[in-house]
Chain A
């Protein structure tokens, strides 16, 4: 019995160390996952058990089945929200306090889609995630050598692929004296003839819905703010995300980077 207990402990510690090592070197699922899709209220409602538990939080749908076991409350606290819009349970854990930033980071990994009709920025959701540490390191390095006149004079244009709703982001950047002097960013859609029939920057209904989700900021001020920051900082990496408009931020930085690649 003594020998077995000792062997079991040694085996336990060694396999735990092995596990930690494996997990440490393995890529994360979030980095390899595909795009998100639209999910109807009916589909959401069909995932209402602990065997398959989906929840809508602030317009996005998460499959949290795998997390039920690990959630630090009795299972019922977690499962009562399965298949339902659950923002209420997310912002108030029952004690009046919202979930932590750590929990928010975990949530991203369970994303499966967005609720039909929800005001979410699709392009942003479909952007591949980048490690925030490396991004900020790159940003400060880029900011350090900004203003060294790296761009050729001229105007540069980039356009994103249309998303599932048919809208696509565009950007135009004008460089004069090797510095960025003008930026225009918007999301548009075209009709069958190719005529632009929609400009998000002018869609006040959209802004109203966005405001409800973000608590304030919408595309009306976020787009000009990002444009302004790019002019001031000189590089896309110098632009800071505005809370409540991070989806637009990702789309903006992506397009600006693409457009400016032609200016080097």
Chain B
């Protein structure tokens, strides 16, 4: 049951409530009439579909620290996506089944059932909700290719009117509308918090004190709190919104970045690689600039086997959660040993390597092995075994570019590690 998190239970209860209410009130009569079953199933998938969509909206709440109960924000987003997808399919089935349930009733009735006169607005609200859903989900499921991240985010906001229309469709038709009022209020409330309130209430203000150029395309930005400092765990990430009018791009846009500092550090440090417009602009952010932070999120170092030692495999800018973890090891007092394999193309693309080796010198429970792809080729099982003989008995944490993950995860499983001893966090669609 490791894959089941306590937060999932709450979602499950919330999701089962409207479905159970429907089943209790509309337990199917034994009927040989296929149309009866079309109608019954049509309504059931409608109830299920709307429930899932409301849950998906609820999951977009993104309250800092709450995501731990769902295995971290990346897992919560994956769940959000899956639940939203199932909801969409449910709604399609709902309209399809009810449409076909009218087919034997003759032309006028059948068409009137699907497309009634305008005064029957609940039905039209349902159609409109479905149309809006297609519009805002098309880029999510990449029906017509990929869309720019910020434009996608704006388009995805159409989910709010779509949900309201879906509720307008459901509330007058439902026998027990109270549950929909409650779930609807929770979900719309989550969207309102996320999009309207949290930019003002959920963020804390910070000031850039220093910008260290680590390599030509990577900087470490150090932030000093203007208000309350942030309490976080190693390996967590935050959403960062620069409020710097002179920035070449990304001003007032939020993007996620992993924290590289130890939780005990009075400054917040973020390792930022030049990967896109917004992160490019941050390479030149002047000291004294005001930055807003929302977070922390994620549960990178979650333990499934607390007694085991750890194996860390970091590559590229994916080294940042391990920098945070290694810095934190300087003042922790556990007895867990860590072996970090730092995988990079070459020495020039090894950020933080000097500092990490320095930590290894000071902290006997921390070891580091650097591996350069251009010199040594791809990492092999033998390479891991040579430098860390007991790697099969460790709990593994991975972070790095997709190619590295695709190579390492099968390699580790081949070596006999079980799936739940391997943790990896990918947030490419946040």
Contact = CB atoms under 8 A, between A and B. Distances in A.
Given A9-B143, A16-B99, A100-B117, A24 B107 contact: yes
A12 B92 contact: yes
A55 B365 CA distance: 82
B100 interface: yes
Interface stretch (A70-78, A243-251, A253-261): A70-78
B89 A8 contact: yes
Nearest to A79: B175
A196 interface: no
Nearest to A71: B173
B122 interface: yes
Interface string A106-144: 100100000000000000000000000000000000000
Interface in B84-126: 85, 88-89, 92, 95-96, 98-100, 102-114, 116-117, 119-123
Interface of B (DSSP majority class): helix
A1 B85 contact: yes
B375 to A, nearest CB: 38
Contacts of B106: 23, 26-31, 109
A262 interface: no
B308 interface: no
A5 B112 contact: no
A69 interface: yes
Contacts of B92: 8-9, 12
Contacts of A2: 141-143
A250 to B, nearest CB: 19
A102 B428 CA distance: 53
Contact of B134 (A9, A27, A66): A9
Contacts of B82: 1
A19 B109 contact: no
A263 to B, nearest CB: 36
B107 to A, nearest CB: 5
A29 B107 CA distance: 8
A74 B107 contact: no
A1 B114 contact: no
Nearest to B137: A5
A20 B173 contact: no
B28 to A, nearest CB: 10
Contacts of B105: 29, 66, 109
A24 B111 contact: yes
Nearest to A28: B106
Contacts of B95: 12, 16
A29 B103 CA distance: 11
Interface in A30-65: 30-31, 51
Interface string A96-107: 000010100110
A169 B85 CA distance: 64
A27 B106 CA distance: 6
A9 B112 CA distance: 23
Interface residues of B, number: 45
B120 to A, nearest CB: 5
Interface in B159-186: 172-175, 177
B172 A70 contact: no
Contacts of A29: 104-106, 109
A70 B82 CA distance: 30
B423 interface: no
Contacts of A51: 29
Contacts of A87: none
B243 interface: no
Given A6-B143, A29-B105, A23 B110 contact: yes
A29 B105 CA distance: 6
A214 interface: no
A100 B119 contact: yes
Given A9-B92, A20-B111, A100-B119, A74 B175 contact: yes
Contacts of B108: 28, 30, 105-106, 109
B39 interface: yes
B377 to A, nearest CB: 34
Given A5-B141, A6-B141, A74-B173, A27 B107 contact: yes
B123 A16 contact: no
Given A23-B103, A26-B106, A100-B119, A72 B111 contact: no
8 contacts: A8-B89, A19-B100, A23-B103, A26-B106, A30-B108, A51-B29, A76-B175, A100-B117
Given A28-B108, A72-B123, 13 more contacts: A2-B143, A8-B92, A19-B99, A19-B103, A19-B114, A22-B103, A23-B103, A51-B29, A69-B43, A69-B98, A76-B175, A106-B109, A109-B108
Interface of B: 29, 35, 39, 43, 81-82, 85, 88-89, 92, 95-96, 98-100, 102-114, 116-117, 119-123, 134, 137, 141-143, 172-175, 177
Interface of A: 1-2, 4-6, 8-9, 12, 15-16, 19-20, 22-24, 26-31, 51, 66, 69-70, 72-76, 100, 102, 105-106, 109
Closest 10 A/B residue pairs (Cβ): A28-B106, A29-B106, A5-B141, A23-B110, A2-B141, A12-B92, A102-B117, A28-B107, A75-B175, A72-B122
